[in-house]
Amino acid sequence: MMMHRILFIVLALGFLSCATEAQVGGNSTAFVVKVADKLQKETRPEGRLVIHVKDEAGKSETFGVSIKGLDGGAVTIRSSDNWTNSGDNKFSELTTGRYTVWAEYHQKQYPISDSLPNTLRSEEKAIEFGNGEASLVLTEARREPVLVETDLVHSFEMRSLALSTFHGADVLVKAAVLLPAGYAANPGKRYPIRYNVAGYGGRFTRVQRLVEEQGFMDWYGADEGPNVISVFLDSDGPYGDNYQLNSANSGPFGDALIEELIPAIEADYRVLPGAENRFVDGCSTGGWVSLALMTFYPDSFGAVYSYSPDPVSFNWMQLINLYEDENAFYNRDGYLTPTHRTINGRPTLSVKREVSDENVVSGSGSYTSSKSQWGAWNAVYSGRGADGLPKPVFDPVSGVIDPAVVKEWEKFDLLKHTKENWPTLGPKLAGKVYVWMGDMDNYYLNNALREYDAFLKQATGPASDAVIEFVAMEGHCSLFSQRRVLERIMGR
């Protein structure tokens, strides 16, 4: 009798285990992914497939896997395959049930410049997760932006010898030029020139949105409009934003800008001679890049107008002290480190989740090649690893910081560089630096700038006349505008 009871219990436990696995951890949905006929010839043979999943409560997760062969027809991938996940659950561990899903196929290859789409996307579709099959058809294409040229808006493109040599292939650098309203009517007149750097990932074609703003163009064409040539730089690079600087991974973008693009543009247009008539500006990533260009190339620019710059000190890489902290995902008190907040202080995203999302879209499964924010920072600041990829400053899964890689980042720490070189750098920055920051910056960038400002306020030999403006209860880039920058340049 006892043996029968034991056997019954064992069988019951086995049944419960199988039921639990089927409901929670046993989902083995097969995704049959194919490209719509109209896009089949525009599909690259290799890319990163990302599937977005949203449950009935609205909670979203993403999963990524590298695939081959989509150019030849349908590819079948199971949820039990080796996916990178953004959340805590593996794809195969999602509870069975009804979900809304859509797929993206990332296929952009740098520095290839052709007409193929960067990304293919499916429509959203409701499916039942379990052991069945779901078909996803990629019907939408996202392509490189195209600039519409006019009398005032010109496209500029040139082959960079420095970048082409580095990458072993032809690399084109691009820009958009916005001429003053009276440029054509005044053929004997020369103008100051400003180089605008985009926020993260911004392309040169962003000028299109500007000239479509009626209020801006009414001011631009009026008598009080700016007599300044504006150049909109392109941020495209192999690891996302190129940051317009030389780096071991992205290549010599600083040389391409300073030694190639700027001289070429200024040879083609009527520009006032001398660095004192050349300005650089930007917000967010563009704020950091513009300040970095002034810091590393102080003889090349007459002034910088930097708004909400990325961290100017790695003591405050947002809320991470790269020099002292051990982990990028958790602070010293064991709490998740936030990366974004509302201007009232409510955290909305953690570094851990942001990096996990980058791991998903990356072809290597690590943020280091994600072409997103942390991946781009890491690519610019880190050295190159033995695998040919940027060395990770912290582990992509655990967040543990690597002090040896942090050491490689130091040369891009603007505060550190400014302190160490102040006796020679300080005189070259005199009268040239304006930085704006909202004191409730959504990405916690105000902390690093406070430290930068504190140094400049007490600097001697020489004293600094930099203008660092903090505005209470303003967020990220909230008071930046193209008009404000142009007005400041005209007011010099």
Cβ burial, residue 346 (10 Å; 0-12/13-18/19+): exposed
**Which of 142, 169, 188 is at the close of a domain?**
142
Upstream peptide bond of 390 is cis (omega within 30 degrees of 0): no
According to DSSP, the β-strands at 338-341 and 347-350 are antiparallel
- β-partners of residue 176 are 155, 232
DSSP 60: E
For residue 48, which of 60, 65, 36 has the smallest C-alpha distance? 65
Pair 340, 349: CB distance under 8 Å: yes
Statement to judge: residues 323 and 400 lie in one domain = yes
The answer to whether residue 5 is domain-embedded is no
221 falls within a domain: yes
DSSP 320: B
**Per-residue model confidence (pLDDT) at position 227:** 97
Query: Is the Cβ–Cβ distance between 273 and 318 less than 8 Å?
Result: no
* Last-in-domain residue among 118, 142, 166: 142
Question: Does any domain span residue 8?
Answer: no
Same-domain status, 169 and 281: yes
Query: What is the length of the chain?
Result: 492
Confirm whether 2 is domain-assigned.
no
Type of residue at 236: D
Q: Name the domain count of the chain.
A: 3
- 78 in a domain, yes or no? yes
Distance (Å, whole) CA 305 – CA 278: 12
**Co-location of 372 and 445 in the same domain:** no
- Same domain? For 83 and 135 the reply is yes
Task: Indicate whether 257 and 355 sit together in one domain.
Answer: no
Backbone φ and ψ of 382, nearest 5°: -90, 160
20's tokens: 């639990």
Domain boundary among 142, 169, 198: 142
| Residue at token pair 């500007």 | 210
Q: How many CA atoms lie within 13 A of 87 on its CB side?
A: 14
Helices (H), 247-381: 253-255, 262-268, 285-296, 351-361, 373-381
Closest C-alpha among 320, 329, 326 to residue 88: 329
- 133: phi then psi, degrees, rounded to nearest 5: -130, 140
What is each CA distance from 269 to 187, 226, 232, 254, 477, in whole angstroms?
Answer: 11, 16, 15, 21, 30
Interior angle at CA 37, CA 60 and CA 108, nearest 5? 55
Element (H, E) at 339: strand 338-341
Edge-to-edge strand list for the sheet holding 278-283: 153-159, 172-178, 229-233, 193-197, 278-283, 303-307, 433-438, 467-471
Query: Domain limits at 162?
Result: 153-313+413-490
pLDDT at 89: 87
Residue 112, domain member (yes or no) = yes
Do 244 and 349 lie in one domain? The reply is no
**Domain containing residue 32: CATH number:** 2.60.40
Strands 193-197 and 278-283, sheet pairing: parallel
Reduced to 3 states (helix: H, G, I; strand: E, B; else coil), residue 28 is coil
pLDDT value for 12 = 38
Q: What is the pLDDT of residue 16?
A: 32
pLDDT (0 to 100) of residue 241: 97
Cβ atoms of 390 and 368 within 8 Å: the answer is yes
457 touches 450 (CB < 8 A): no
Is residue 157 within 8 Å of residue 173, measured between CB atoms?
A: yes
| 464 and 426 Cβ atoms separated by less than 8 Å | yes
The whole-number pLDDT of residue 26 equals 56
**Do 401 and 326 touch, CB atoms closer than 8 A?**
yes
Rg for the chain, CA atoms, rounded: 26
Cα separation, 118 vs 319, whole angstroms: 33
CATH code assigned at 434: 3.40.50.1820
Q: Is-contact 414 420, C-beta < 8 A?
A: no
The pLDDT profile of the chain, 492 residues, written as one tens digit per residue, is 433 333 333 333 343 333 333 344 457 899 999 999 999 999 999 999 999 999 999 999 999 999 999 999 999 999 989 999 998 889 999 888 999 999 999 999 999 878 899 999 999 999 988 878 999 999 999 998 899 999 999 999 999 999 999 999 999 999 999 999 999 999 999 999 999 999 999 999 999 999 999 999 999 999 999 999 999 999 999 999 999 999 999 999 999 999 999 999 999 999 999 999 999 999 999 999 999 999 999 999 999 999 999 999 999 999 999 999 999 999 999 999 999 999 999 999 999 999 999 999 999 999 999 999 999 999 999 999 999 999 999 999 999 999 999 999 999 999 999 999 999 999 999 999 999 999 999 999 999 999 999 999 999 999 999 999 999 999 999 999 999 999 999 998
Does residue 9 sit within a domain?
Answer: no
177 within a domain of the structure (yes/no): yes
CA 388 to centroid of chain Cα atoms: 21
Same domain for 268 and 174: yes
**Same structural domain, 134 and 246:** no
- Based on the domain organization, do 166 and 33 belong to the same domain? no
The Cα–Cα gap between 366 and 188 comes to 54
Same domain, 71 and 183: no
Indicate whether 187 and 288 sit together in one domain: yes
165 and 223 in a single domain? The answer is: yes
